[in-house]
Amino acid sequence: MIRFENDYTEGAHPRILQRLIETNEEQTPGYGMDEHCEKAREYIRKECEAEDADIHFLVGGTQTNTTIIASILRPYQGAVSAESGHIATHETGAIESTGHKVLTVPSEDGKITAGQVQELVDAHWNEASPEHSVQPGLVYISNPTENGTTYTKAELEALSKVCGEYQLPLVLDGARLGYGLASIDNDITLADYARLCDVFYIGGTKVGALFGEAVVITNDSLKKDFRYFIKQRGGLLAKGRLLGIQFETLFEDGLYYEVSKHAVEMASLLRHAFVENGFALRYDSTTNQQFPILPEYVMKELRKKYSFSFWEKIDATHSAVRFCTSWSTKKEHVDMFVNDLHRLCITS
């Protein structure tokens, strides 16, 4: 079975494992106060051109989203999100478990617009008794989105602007940030993210690391006591060095970009194969996730050899499915798949 079902099917980039071995006997303080974490923070600050940013390392995405959002909102506030946002759909109500509503706005492709945010916020403040409903307290977006699509710099700037006007922190979920940076359409740098968002994170779990997300807080008013939040939410890894070592390795000489680029190239091969064989794509993704619409018999045939995930029913005989590549996707597997798909389409 060759797995395209998600982007965390393997371990970590070999250089990361190598580094874990090299550092294994070092004795360090716990909880992220070690030199590896400090060095990783420096690399990331530099890449973000954000000398004063606070950088924290957490283990996984749900934990990171929850910790960030719980650290920002007042109890009666909610997080504005696309209805397809990860926090709105696939985190078992983690945000609600901290007491906050997710205020969803409709989205066709996973993105939301500055106009939608403005409209929702205005609607709240125009109510006769705003205090009877949840007050918008921040805006959450993912880039790339859960649908593989990406924001342009202009779109991100527009969101940042409207958020600034309404004093709503803009929080960006970068679980797949590397794959956005590597997209051929990308015009946003890490420095842009740092400038335009109040808090964002750089995903490691899906981009070369065993696990880990690097949170970048640039808004001074959101920095205070963040470590209390991490600890309270169970996110303060005892051997925090493990996170430091991984991000140090990913950012000391561009490995993060390199592995991201590979994944996106592999996804591009898949995309071309689907298109060339006449399949529509559910979303226009130039990142590591591809969402072809396939007929049942094609899916059935492919499933004998490949794993991928069901996305949604399109009609009686077609479904959209998701293929993921990652830093670890093997070119020979992609080639094999492309050939198999082609052969299947010719013969059927």
Residues in 88-147 at the binding interface with a copy of itself, rule: CB under 8 A: 89-94, 96-102, 128-129, 131-135
Question: Counting beta carbons within 10 angstroms of the beta carbon of residue 257, is it exposed (0 to 12), middle (13 to 18) or buried (19 or more)?
Answer: middle
Task: Draw the binding track, 270-309, toward a copy of itself (x: CB under 8 A; -: no contact).
Answer: ---------------------------------------x
Piece of the chain touching a copy of itself by CB under 8 A; list 7-15, 250-258, 264-272, 296-304: 7-15
DSSP secondary structure string, 193-207?
A: HHHH-SEEEEE-TTT
DSSP 8-class letter at 175: T
> Does the footprint of a copy of itself cover residue 254 (CB under 8 A)?
no
**10 versus 108: smaller Cβ distance to a copy of itself:** 10
> Does the footprint of a copy of itself cover residue 11 (CB under 8 A)?
yes
Piece of the chain touching a copy of itself by CB under 8 A; list 150-158, 177-185, 238-246, 275-283: 238-246
Counting runs of H as helices and runs of E as strands, what totals does the chain give?
14, 13
- Report CA torsion sign: 281, 283, 287, 291: negative
Tell me how far apart the alpha carbons of residues 40 and 36 are, in angstroms, rounded to a whole number: 6
> Does the footprint of a copy of itself cover residue 41 (CB under 8 A)?
no
> Does the footprint of a copy of itself cover residue 36 (CB under 8 A)?
no
Residues 203-232 that bind a copy of itself (CB under 8 A): 205-206, 210-211, 225, 227-232
Single-letter amino acid, residue 153:
K
Question: Counting beta carbons within 10 angstroms of the beta carbon of residue 216, is it exposed (0 to 12), middle (13 to 18) or buried (19 or more)?
Answer: buried
Bridge partners of 295?
A: 318
Residues 55-74 that bind a copy of itself (CB under 8 A): 59-64, 66-67, 70-71, 74
Task: Provide the minimum distance between the beta carbon of 246 and a copy of itself in the complex, in angstroms, as a whole number.
Answer: 11
DSSP 8-class letter at 168: -
Residues 13-32 that bind a copy of itself (CB under 8 A): 14, 17, 20-21, 23-31
DSSP 8-class letter at 150: -
Task: Provide the minimum distance between the beta carbon of 71 and a copy of itself in the complex, in angstroms, as a whole number.
Answer: 8
Residue 251 near residue 208 (C-beta atoms within 8 A): no
Tell me how far apart the alpha carbons of residues 145 and 84 are, in angstroms, rounded to a whole number: 9
> Does the footprint of a copy of itself cover residue 233 (CB under 8 A)?
yes
Task: Provide the minimum distance between the beta carbon of 348 and a copy of itself in the complex, in angstroms, as a whole number.
Answer: 26
> Does the footprint of a copy of itself cover residue 263 (CB under 8 A)?
no
Task: Provide the minimum distance between the beta carbon of 181 and a copy of itself in the complex, in angstroms, as a whole number.
Answer: 20
Residue 92 near residue 65 (C-beta atoms within 8 A): no
